[in-house]
Structure 1
Amino acid sequence: MTGTDPTPDTPTLFDRALLADPHAGYARLREACPVARTTTPDGAPVWVVTRYEDVRAALTDRRLSLNKQTSTSTGKHGASMPPSLDAHLLNMDPPDHTRLRRLVAPAFTARSVGRLRPAIQQRTDELLDRFQDGSADVMTALATPLALAVICDVLGIAEEDRRDFRTWTDTLRSPAADAAPTSRRALHDLHGFLVELIAGKRDHPGDDLLTQMITAREDGDQLSEPELVALSFLLLFAGYDNSANLVGNTVLALLTHHETLRSLRSGALGVGRVVDEVMRWNSPSMLASRRFAREDTHIGGVRITAGERIWMSLASANRDPQQFSNPDQFDVDRPEGGHLGFGHGIHYCLGSALARMETEIATEALVRRFPSLRLAHPEETFEWCDSFQNRGPLKLPVIW
């Protein structure tokens, strides 16, 4: 598409049809209107970028900001996070982002998160021990409780505090339209909990990533109290939802691609290659964090005005036929790399090593523990989470 004027609004883009079959919807958009102007589910105007080349370039374009202060648009409902939980990496540009990422990054290296492997394996085995009677729901019995357990282990949350913690997180993940008052209370309680948790870690350091973030220093600099609270909150939600959905998406991909599953079980295929292709083919992150144009700019030949909101569709970019051959096919042997499932550039997912390791452990343990594992209802259409941002099955019933 060429020209200098914005495309007409597409108010029905984020509708039930796109939610039910996002890959088909984005395929149509890539072809007909690769940079489209529409509205978010809460009514805010937004540009949606769908082609791989444009998305990858936009993810590193310094003319696009993550800072909300550069925005000229708001949603109809005016929903926003309290400032005390909002000052994190996904709302920051350099140099603030550079400073925080430099302080936090050592806690998320492959070597650092590798120390969690025995604990994640133990958590997985304990959950699988509860699988009985030849049937289970992978999401409720494995993916979700494992993701919560791992994130609580990462933050060093004591077992006796995890019931309240899960109640708050489940409340905040609710898509219900009338959930705002309950969500505000949950945010207040969770904020207080995180403040107390960090204070406790200062007095009694533990062997966890939160303690590493508290003690991280470079050239005399360290994270402030508000930064630690906001980063802990980000880690919670980025790690919880995405990790659970990645486990679910990976198991579902294997159970619907039997030759790949056989190769994994025989040892001819490493589980890491499976997870990598799932991140391209059915990533739990459908959209990159929203950006705002710092100045009037062009993406894909379309003019975008300073302050306007932009969403880059990772799901669409990862199935762009201009970048990937047979993009709708799940193929662990595909020759092309470069998927954007974990993002690209300075905002590449900080927790990618942890998410990969957690998914690899859970998936491999599940398929090896139950050699006859299969879908309980292979002929039925799956119901997906009610979100344009995240992708994962609500339920994944299996039998063996």
Structure 2
Amino acid sequence: MHMAETVRVDLRREFADPAARADPGPVYARLRDLGPVLRSRDLFGETFVLARHEEVAQVIRDPRFASDRGNVPGGRPLARWWTPSLLKLLVSSMVLKDPPDHRRLRNLVQQAFTPTMVANLEGRVSEITEELLDAAVRRPVVDLMADLALPLPLTVIAEMLGVPPADRVRFRTLLTALQGTSDTNPVALLRNVPHMLRLTRLLRGLVALRRDQPGDDLVTALVQAEEAGDRLSEDELVSMIFLLLFAGHETTVNLIGNGVLELVRHPDQLQRLRDDPELIGTAVEEMLRFTNPVGLVAPRHAREDAEIAGVPIPRGSMVTLLIGSANLDEAAFPDADTFDITRSPNRHLSFGHGAHFCLGAPLARLEARIAIPALLRRFERLDLTMPAEQLPWRPLIALRGVEALPLSVTPAGAPVDHVAT
């Protein structure tokens, strides 16, 4: 197959329709049908697009494809001399690094996210969940996003990082504003620069605070960290904290919101989970696969001439990986378009693979495994207050999630006249 035979698509246009963001399955299916390798153009130029599980999984673990464009021979770094300092911070993030830089940065933070460390958070996650549900249970209609899915992971990661309680509302406001940014709209990105500047100032202030007043938290650990005698630079610190704040709760917000929505939309699966709470482990994995909290990951760049499914990929080429599509690929998952909380095995790619496997995966899993059963114990009925097709979805391809999820709820053991209708 020659490069000229790869089909050209416009990803921005494909997902411009709100209906496609609410239900991207048909778009993904069409893209997979068009071929193993497609071509498109985005804000950063020409890109190859992979929509099938086999090719996405192949490239994610292939060291010939770099995350940092500056590591491609002759390639130009994403951050240039004219790049605003704020964006330089974001593109210096660990997500966009390759070994050895990636390993160095990851080593400094991964001890906070080991399964053992995360398991130690179980009691605190349960405590926060119950506090949030205590407040929610007094209302006849619960917005699952505002009342549980957003505040739970944000509170957890803010406590882990050592964000002072007085600053957490400001952090949440700024992060929420940034999460509303359309990743396909450069005008919206520019409009959010003031929010990004304010958040950066808050992060620099947090670093200064923990230099002066060390605590038992992750920012203090990063400030003091020495890896083979190497400390993080100020910019690396701010970039890392931004990444942890964002990645440490972003996936979980969408996992809990999207996951509960699918349970409500599939009453048979919801009842199975109520009848057998032990299924929560496989249920969370299926929510990750089927609802795709992460639609695509940072692009990869070919370090050398390569080939994918017989298509030549010239050195320096950018490759876009549609994780969300790979997770719905019929070739990798029997009955891929069926939501089945007992599915096993489940080789979804929602947390990536290999060197860039999501650092926050154990934390996201823990929070969902605690929050969703707690919700089901508290409420014997959960009903959408509007048709599912009318729910507002965030205007993003990369991160898929509902903006609000209003549920009419019936508390467990409620007297008949208290039942919400």
Question: Does the pair score TM above 0.5?
Answer: yes
1:294 CA displacement: 1.9
1:382 CA displacement: 3.1
User: 2-side partners of 1:226 and 1:380: how far apart?
Assistant: 43
Structure 1 pair 163–8 and aligned structure 2 pair: CA distance change class (3 A): same
Partner of 1:30: 32
Q: The residue matched to 1:82 in structure 2 has which SS?
A: helix
Matched, 1:384 2:386: no
Q: The residue matched to 2:316 in structure 1 has which SS?
A: coil
Structure 1 pair 187–381 and aligned structure 2 pair: CA distance change class (3 A): closer
| Superposition CA RMSD, Å | 2.4
Kindly indicate whether the alpha-carbon contact (under 8 Å) linking 1:85 and 1:191 is maintained by their aligned counterparts in 2: no
Q: The residue matched to 2:358 in structure 1 has which SS?
A: coil
Aligned with 1:208 (options 217, 239, 242): 217
User: 2-side partners of 1:81 and 1:55: how far apart?
Assistant: 30
1:91 CA displacement: 1.1
1:350 CA displacement: 0.4
Matched, 1:166 2:172: yes
User: 2-side partners of 1:268 and 1:284: how far apart?
Assistant: 22
Q: Which amino acid aligns with 1:366?
A: L
Kindly indicate whether the alpha-carbon contact (under 8 Å) linking 2:15 and 2:397 is maintained by their aligned counterparts in 1: yes
Partner of 2:66: 65
Aligned with 1:243 (options 247, 252, 259): 252
Partner of 1:125: 130
User: 1-side partners of 2:166 and 2:5: how far apart?
Assistant: 54
Deviates more, 1:223-232 or 1:384-393: 223-232
Structure 1 pair 379–101 and aligned structure 2 pair: CA distance change class (3 A): closer
Q: Which amino acid aligns with 1:335?
A: S
Q: Which amino acid aligns with 2:24?
A: P
Structure 1 pair 320–73 and aligned structure 2 pair: CA distance change class (3 A): farther
- 1:290-332 Cα offsets, whole Å, 9 max, x none, are 1112223222222223222211111111111111100011112
Aligned with 2:161 (options 123, 140, 155): 155
Equivalent residues in 2 for 1:275-290 (5 A)?
A: 275-290=284-299
Q: Which amino acid aligns with 1:331?
A: D
Equivalent residues in 2 for 1:1-400 (5 A)?
A: 2-5=1-4, 7-11=6-10, 12-16=13-17, 18-40=20-42, 42=43, 44-69=45-70, 70=72, 82-131=87-136, 132-175=138-181, 178-180=187-189, 182-267=191-276, 269-378=278-387, 380-400=389-409
User: 2-side partners of 1:199 and 1:72: how far apart?
Assistant: 33
Residue identity over aligned pairs, in percent, reads 39
1:174 CA displacement: 3.1
Q: Which amino acid aligns with 1:115?
A: N
1:381 CA displacement: 4.2
- 1:157-182 Cα offsets, whole Å, 9 max, x none, are 11111232223223322336654555
Q: TM-score, normalised to structure 1's length?
A: 0.91
Return 5+ residue gaps in structure 2 as ranges: 410-421
User: 1-side partners of 2:370 and 2:86: how far apart?
Assistant: 33
Deviates more, 1:172-181 or 1:324-333: 172-181
Deviates more, 1:217-226 or 1:122-131: 217-226
- 1:176-221 Cα offsets, whole Å, 9 max, x none, are 6654555222222222221221222233222223233334444433
Deviates more, 1:25-34 or 1:263-272: 263-272
1:66 CA displacement: 1.0
Kindly indicate whether the alpha-carbon contact (under 8 Å) linking 1:13 and 1:38 is maintained by their aligned counterparts in 2: no
Count of matched residue positions in the alignment of Structure 1 and Structure 2: 395
Q: Which amino acid aligns with 2:371?
A: A
Kindly indicate whether the alpha-carbon contact (under 8 Å) linking 2:279 and 2:341 is maintained by their aligned counterparts in 1: no
User: 1-side partners of 2:197 and 2:177: how far apart?
Assistant: 12
Q: The residue matched to 2:369 in structure 1 has which SS?
A: helix
User: 2-side partners of 1:278 and 1:115: how far apart?
Assistant: 24
User: 2-side partners of 1:269 and 1:375: how far apart?
Assistant: 25
Kindly indicate whether the alpha-carbon contact (under 8 Å) linking 2:86 and 2:200 is maintained by their aligned counterparts in 1: no
